[in-house]
Amino acid sequence: MTLENVSSQKSFGGWHKRYRHRSTTLNCDMVFAVYLPPQAEQGTKLPVLYWLSGLTCTDENFMQKAGAHRLAAELGLVIVAPDTSPRGDGVPGDPEGAWDFGKGAGFYLNATQEPWSRHYRMHDYVVEELPALVEANFPVSDRRSISGHSMGGHGALVCALRNPGRYRSVSAFSPITNPLNCPWGEKAFSRYLGEDRSRWREWDACSLMAQAAEQLPTLVDQGDRDDFLASQLKPEALQASAQAVDYPLTLRMQAGYDHSYYFIASFVDDHLRHHAEALKG
Amino acid sequence: MTLENVSSQKSFGGWHKRYRHRSTTLNCDMVFAVYLPPQAEQGTKLPVLYWLSGLTCTDENFMQKAGAHRLAAELGLVIVAPDTSPRGDGVPGDPEGAWDFGKGAGFYLNATQEPWSRHYRMHDYVVEELPALVEANFPVSDRRSISGHSMGGHGALVCALRNPGRYRSVSAFSPITNPLNCPWGEKAFSRYLGEDRSRWREWDACSLMAQAAEQLPTLVDQGDRDDFLASQLKPEALQASAQAVDYPLTLRMQAGYDHSYYFIASFVDDHLRHHAEALKG
């Protein structure tokens, strides 16, 4: 559980820091980033927003491009951004070097199939190991929320829905809502989880929402000029699942926006306020 | 003067757009980015802030990482970000592939020495050709301000000081204030301008400020944990030049900040307000 500080950069009066550590869940070294707002130096324990990035990303994309530090500094919110998959020479990747499977594409699940099952356990890393590490090493409370983009939006929804009591709120930008029924999900799940599609439902936000044991305030933003909207993201499927069980989902279709970080930056303040409200007290 | 639209992305209700065009000044194709705030669709002509990036950057760094669109959208400010040098296979670069000379390192001057003088004329491109193009193709007025980072901070100061009447205000983050007397400047100037150091003074902010024909509101932010502070940036030299002629320079040393875009993002709102105030009316 030793953390090696990779870098420290002052940002909006707080600090953006990156750490390397040995992950026992993933059996490899991992790097994550944390934004510590100025209030972290004042002795009170702060709530934490976990951010899960999308395909091909690392811990850096959100921190550099989302413009989230400004309001996090005002709200006193810690943000933790893990990498998107296990990493390193000892970790198997996609045999053809694809960008939508393997390294950079862990899909925030626990793989059951060889050779992936030894390393690809991002769900347990994000939900258990990383928060334990963060809560032992930084001035934070056990009040947690979770958000993410695209594959990470899927991750945020699934982590929240699978773990009642663990998070106070959830949100997502352009999430893969129904990986059971889209090409990205079918490719990844068939390899990580095997061909028995009945096991895939445990990692599908639409399926999980239909039998949710807890109702969390849920905000989803989706651009209507997102190239992946119809084929991969399917917000209408999530909307239908929510309506069937009266789940408190706010889905906002944003006119003109695409899948990029310009979209995320445009609405990230709304998401931070959504979480800060749920994390209060 | 044909502009080819490379991409369009909605951001904070406005648009981030990239364009390719043939530059007659630089004798090559160039790409620049423009942020058009929502007010650009309302028929009034908006003022423009030109942003000059630092070594190794392109038009993309500031747009992706500075977090400037949010307030620009509120203030009704257009932002234009050019590339940092001429580009393309026909343009000579550093023979050893260095990152601090040649491509990505045009230093915003007009080279006089072969083989650089045919393409490396970034000053004229930034001050003349690009604004003419922008003012002919977008809903903007001839009210201009200029800012930049590091090499681009040098560029902003020099463009403003050399061209009285052209800009309403100037600002810089971590500028190379005195390239006459620092390794980056000596390397670039000796090649672009030749060994006669008396000609270098025309491109040195400290020298130009000492004989400025116009006094522009000037804001400079500098982090005190910037690795390049003592060797390359020398804000105290600019401060001395300003004091000698009573130039309206506000130099702010920012405790704990480094040379990165986290520093820029932390203070970019102050710079946008500085320019918006000067650009009013």
Q: Which of A259, A271, A274, A275 is catalytic?
A: A259
Provide DSSP, A165-176: TS-S-EEEES--
**Residue in chain B nearest A67 by alpha carbon:** B67
**Residue B125 has what pLDDT?**
98
Coarse DSSP helix, strand, coil percentages of chain A, rounded to the nearest 5 percent: 35, 25, 40
Q: Which of A150, A171, A174, A241 is catalytic?
A: A150
For chain A, what percent of residues have pLDDT higher than 90? Answer: 98
Give per-residue pLDDT as tens, B132-151: 999 999 999 999 999 999 99
Catalytic-residue membership of B259: yes
Residue B266 tokens read as 């932390």
Contact of A173 with chain B, judged by CB distance below 8 Å, is answered with no
Catalytic-residue membership of B246: no
With an 8 Å Cβ cutoff, are A13 and B266 in contact? yes
**Residue A48 has what pLDDT?**
98
d(CA B146, CA B153): 9
**Residue B281 has what pLDDT?**
66
Residue type, B6: V
Mean predicted confidence (pLDDT) in B19-31:
98
Mean predicted confidence (pLDDT) in A177-196:
98
A80 forms beta bridges with A34, A50
Report chain B residues whose CB lies below 8 A from the CB of A266: 10-13, 69
CB A250 within 8 Å of CB A216:
no
Which regions of chain A does DSSP assign to beta strands (E)? 4-11, 14-23, 28-36, 46-52, 78-81, 140-148, 170-173, 218-223, 249-254
Give per-residue pLDDT as tens, B205-224: 999 999 999 999 999 999 99
Contact of B62 with chain A, judged by CB distance below 8 Å, is answered with no
3-state SS, chain B, equals CCCEEEEEEEECCEEEEEEEEEECCCCEEEEEEEEECHHHHCCCCEEEEEEECCCCCCCHHHHHHCCCHHHHHHHCCEEEECCCCCCCCCCCCCCCCCCCCECCECCCCECCCCCCCCCCEHHHHHHHHHHHHHHHHCCEEEEEEEEEECHHHHHHHHHHHHCCCCCCCEEEECCCCCHHHCHHHHHHHHHHCCCCHHHHHHHCHHHHHHCCCCCCCEEEEEECCCCCHHHHHCHHHHHHHHHHHCCCEEEEEECCCCCCHHHHHHHHHHHHHHHHHHHCC
CA distances (Å), A157 to each of A163, A209, A264, B275, in order?
A: 10, 9, 17, 42
**Residue B43 has what pLDDT?**
85
Contact of A16 with chain B, judged by CB distance below 8 Å, is answered with yes
Å from B175 to nearest chain A CA?
Answer: 19
d(CA A248, CA B216): 54
Report chain A residues whose CB lies below 8 A from the CB of B13: 266
The model's confidence at residue A1, banded by pLDDT at 50, 70 and 90, is low
The model's confidence at residue A43, banded by pLDDT at 50, 70 and 90, is confident
Residue A191 tokens read as 């390899």
Mean predicted confidence (pLDDT) in A95-104:
95
- Pick among A15, A262, A267 to test the B interface (most B CBs inside 10 A): A262
CA distances (Å), A76 to each of A70, A188, B65, B83, B255, in order?
A: 10, 37, 22, 36, 20
In sequence order, what are the residues at sequence separation of 6 or more whose Cβ sits closer than 8 angstroms to the Cβ of residue A207?
Answer: A180, A201, A241
Mean predicted confidence (pLDDT) in B164-171:
98
Give per-residue pLDDT as tens, A206-259: 999 999 999 999 999 999 999 999 999 999 999 999 999 999 999 999 999 999
Q: Is the pLDDT of residue B1 over 80?
A: no
With an 8 Å Cβ cutoff, are A64 and B65 in contact? yes
Q: Cis bond leading into A37, ω under 30°? A: no
Average pLDDT, chain A: 97
A34 forms beta bridges with A17, A80
d(CA B231, CA B191): 20
In sequence order, what are the residues at sequence separation of 6 or more whose Cβ sits closer than 8 angstroms to the Cβ of residue B84?
Answer: B52, B53, B54, B55, B56, B57, B58, B104, B105, B106, B122, B151, B152
**Residue A281 has what pLDDT?**
66
